[in-house]
Structure 1
Amino acid sequence: MFRARGEDSLPVGSSRSFGKRLRPTNREAHAPLWAQVKASLTALILEDGLQEHARLPSEAELCARFGVSRTVVREAMSQMVNEGLIYRLQGKGAFVAGRRDEQDFVGTTVGFSGELADKRKQVTRRILRQETGLPPPRIRKLLRIEETTRLVFVDRAMAVEGSPRMIVRWAMLESVVPGLDAMPLENRSLYDTIGRQYGVRLARAERWIEAVPALGEDAALLGVAEGTPVLGIESVAFNPAAQAIEYYTALYLTDRSRLHFTVSSPNF
């Protein structure tokens, strides 16, 4: 079971000692009060090297420390969430965001865990579903297959360095990967497995990306409040013979990472 971010015990020397290090507000300054609160908290994070995922003081504590209203504190923290400096967990408070990784997997045919492994990141996987079945209409349309064509379905929730990052619902033609539904996949890269065991090569992929809310079980698996915006990805991949053989959808947290694309002109 993945542990949601921010559920660890409070790091030693974190929010309990913030009071001595926060800069007081100045009501005669030109900068609005919320901007002063934001600047003070930002300096604490960036200059004092506050630990990733350290819990910040509560809104009430910050109001008392800065001598400002809850509206001022909330505006400052909302701006910091937008800039990726902190994140909120419903009912738990605000926490220092981790340093963002840069990931290329969306712009290539390399799998998520394989790409992270190259960066010496520990990726853990939880298998949610692993079985064969018939394609639903959306997959049937995009892969251009008959309704009787069987697929192998593998749904996974993945974490990086213990922090939930992504949910992937993946499918591939069973004729390409027979027996994959029975293979243990918890401790291995799916793309490494299909490459080594079946010689599968993906030549290109088409992907659609949009912001979507994390709902229900997905929000719980990602360790975020229901309705939190995440990146939704839909992908269709083709083998060297230009046959569509793979389909997946993914929900991806971008609060600790950013995605990298390489774009080239079709004339070069």
Structure 2
Amino acid sequence: MPDRFGCIERGTSMPLWSQVKASLTMLIREDGLKEHDRLPSESELCKSFGVSRTVIREALSQMVNEGLIYRLQGKGAFVRGHRDEQKFVGTTMGFSGEMAEKKQNVTRKILRQEVTYPTPRISRMLQIDPSHPIVAVDRVMLVEGVPRLIVRWAMLQETVPGLERIQLESRSLYDTINRQFGVRLVRADRWIEAVSLSAPDAELLEVEAGKAALKVESVCVNEVGHPIEYYIATFLTDRSRLHLSVSSLG
């Protein structure tokens, strides 16, 4: 392994972490590492470079900041490659539908799927009474096995009666509500803000707590203009970026 890395020169003006970073960057760009390939562990890198774990962690942190790698908690550091552009935030297309168009494999981890009552926020956004039942579906979306986003979704129960009993791990939610219930979403209002991941969300996305992410809040209406769908989606921005198309600007 040592011959794969450049030499570390001590006593120079270039910090050790910067030399490690330069060597690892060359390894990624010139040694044939592909997207999602795993880098050696921190202990292996310490041994190969002959430096402390602090030096290795600083080098890896800088590489994460520059978009060269990403980390999965408890699994290590991986080559990031390019970030996918997610266009579904600017349309009424679902995430699974967009990934299917890109021929990428999407899997889902269902966290919650039940009939419940809306929170005060959902009541206000859907313009319904707090006693009005909704179907809630919370899930983690994974692309090629890598967690990409968390979606906490709700829809009026009368719009999708029985959805809480349908197995959704292996199927698109939006394809299901369209085909099985004839739901058509025609317009959405969305709000996007930067957030720091809570510990529970970070664990779901397999990253460290406090990591930067984007939160998208959405309300969709049907053909007659009634709000029927609400969701909050939380994205990791080092794995994807949002693409919005805007027209008819004054």
Task: Tell me, yes or no, whether TM beats 0.5.
Answer: yes
Question: 1:116–1:132: structure 2 CA closer, same or farther, 3 Å change rule?
Answer: same
For 2:79, the equivalent position in structure 1 comes to 96
Tell me the secondary structure at the aligned position of residue 121 of structure 2: helix
Secondary structure, aligned partner of 2:129: coil
2:108 and 2:56 map into 1 onto residues whose CA distance is: 38
Match of 1:48 in 2: 31
Match of 1:129 in 2: 112
Do the aligned partners of residues 29 and 216 (structure 1) sit closer, same or farther apart at CA in structure 2, a change above 3 Å counting? closer
SS of corresponding position for 1:175: helix
1:118-157 alignment, distance < 5 Å: 118-157=101-140
**Aligned equivalent of 2:194:** 211
Does the residue aligned with 1:120 lie in a helix, a strand or coil?
coil
Alignment pair present for 1:185 and 2:168: yes
Tell me the secondary structure at the aligned position of residue 201 of structure 1: coil
Q: Which residue of 2 aligns with 1:4?
A: none
CA distance in 1, matches of 2:41, 2:137: 41
Gaps of 5+ in 2: none
More moved, 238-247 vs 55-64: 55-64
Q: Is residue 73–residue 206 contact of structure 2 (8 Å, CA) maintained in 1?
A: no
Match of 2:60 in 1: 77
Q: Which residue of 2 aligns with 1:233?
A: 216
Displacement of 1:63: 5.1
Contact 2:199 2:208 in 1 (8 A): no
TM-score, with length taken from structure 2: 0.87
Distance 1:127 1:80, change over 3 A: same
Is 1:22 the counterpart of 2:19? The answer is: no
Distance 1:67 1:178, change over 3 A: closer
Q: Please provide the CA RMSD for this pair.
A: 2.5
State the Cα distance separating 1:229 from its structure 2 match.
2.6
The one-letter amino acid of 1:81's match is V
For the structure 1 residues 239 and 53, does the alpha-carbon distance in structure 2 shift closer, same or farther, using more than 3 Å as the test?
A: same
Amino acid in the other structure paired with 1:21: R
Aligned pair partner of 1:163 in 132, 146, 167: 146
Residue number in structure 2 paired with 1:8: none
Segment drifting more, 47-56 vs 111-120: 47-56
What amino acid does structure 2 have at the position aligned with 1:44? Answer: L
1:117 corresponds to: 100
TM-score by length of 1: 0.81
SS at match of 1:114: helix
Deviations 1:216-237 (A, max 9, x none): 4433322222333322221111
CA distance in 2, matches of 1:210, 1:89: 23
Gaps of 5+ in 1: 1-16
Given the superposition, is the C-alpha separation of residues 72 and 218 from structure 1 closer, same or farther in structure 2, using an over 3 Å criterion?
A: closer
* Residue 201 of structure 1: aligned partner: 184
User: Which stretch of structure 1 is more off in the superposition, 255-264 or 49-58?
Assistant: 49-58
